[in-house]
Amino acid sequence: MTNQINGTRMARLRDIPLVMRLAEQGTVLDSELGFTRTADSPNTTVFSSIVLPQRSLLTLVARAENDQVIGQIRLKSSEHLAQIVYMAPRLDEGVEDTAWLRLLDAMAVEAGKRGAHILTAEVDESSALFQTMRTAGFAVYARQEIWRRMPDQGPIAIEAAPLSDETDDDAMDIQLLYCNIVPRLVQHIAVPSHDSTGLVYRQNDRIQGYVAMSEGKYGVYLVPYLHPDILFTEVSAILAGAVARGSQSGKVPVYVCMRRFQDWLEESLIELGFERCAEQAVMVRHIAAGIRQTTFAPLSHPLEVAPSPARPPTSQMTEPVVEAKHKE
């Protein structure tokens, strides 16, 4: 469908040449995807959503003057959440951003139509797109740093802590840990990805740590949730254990997403040979929830009016007075 007002529409097969032309010039706004499976260009994902449309992926095209911009969002219907995956071409400093603003508005509209309440993106704070997203109504809800360890650094010398795979029986304890360490403001957007594998660290039969691990062709992506009661030496061992569990850890870079509320992990990351490679803002735009139109079921029987003789208003006012005199 084409929006004649702002020049935005859903991508079609005829847009594949445009996607091919812009694919290498885009910005990935989903860090898990960007660091594991896309190698800085999610053209495979964009192609598949156009050729084989999926309910969870939407690709849109926006135009303004001579600029054409494509973008993709992923819907997480169970969480009423939508995340921007990709926008292309990359927005440079000083460039007129009207097309990007139109695309961001169209993404919010399409996500809202499909039940999403918020639209999120992980944006490099130093990029021109960061300011454009502020103009488009996005606000910073959290900040995070991406730390990287290259495979040529060899194995980690620190002894790895034992981690077990997450099970259904762990769900309640993991949820409790999550609620205790993640600030309330960002709890609805900092949830581990459904595509990740959960690794659990137990201490005295209690779950004190959880690491969400995603693996792809180009990297291993870790998001730790560790209780502050854990000692620094234990943090290093837990992260070392998570790295060791990655089947690709010795072949591709390992990335750790450290959100600002867990910045006390920095010392352990440095000890393990990680280096900071990106600083990002988690940006959120709230989408007004749609109001369903109220429907009324037809009455099975007609309303029956109780018969009552019409009387002049004065009789209704004087009758109680007469009764009151009789009572006296």
- Indicate yes or no: pTM above 0.85: no
Region 147-278: CATH code: 3.40.630.30
Asked if domains 2-137 and 147-278 share a fold, the reply is yes
Q: Is the torsion defined by CA of 299, 302, 308, 311 positive or negative? A: positive
| pLDDT tens by residue, 303-324 | 555 555 545 444 444 444 444 4
**Mean pLDDT in residue range 247-264:** 93
DSSP H helical ranges for 1-116: 16-22, 31-36, 43-51, 98-113
Per-residue confidence band for 119, with pLDDT thresholds at 50, 70 and 90: very high
- The residue among 127 and 316 whose pLDDT is bigger is 127
What is the SS3 assignment for 303?
A: coil
What is the SS3 assignment for 263?
A: helix
Per-residue confidence band for 167, with pLDDT thresholds at 50, 70 and 90: very high
Per-residue confidence band for 192, with pLDDT thresholds at 50, 70 and 90: confident
Average pLDDT of the residues of the chain:
83
CATH 3.40.630.30 fits domain 2-137: yes
pLDDT value at residue 176: 95
**Mean pLDDT in residue range 285-313:** 56
For the chain, the domains span: 2-137, 147-278
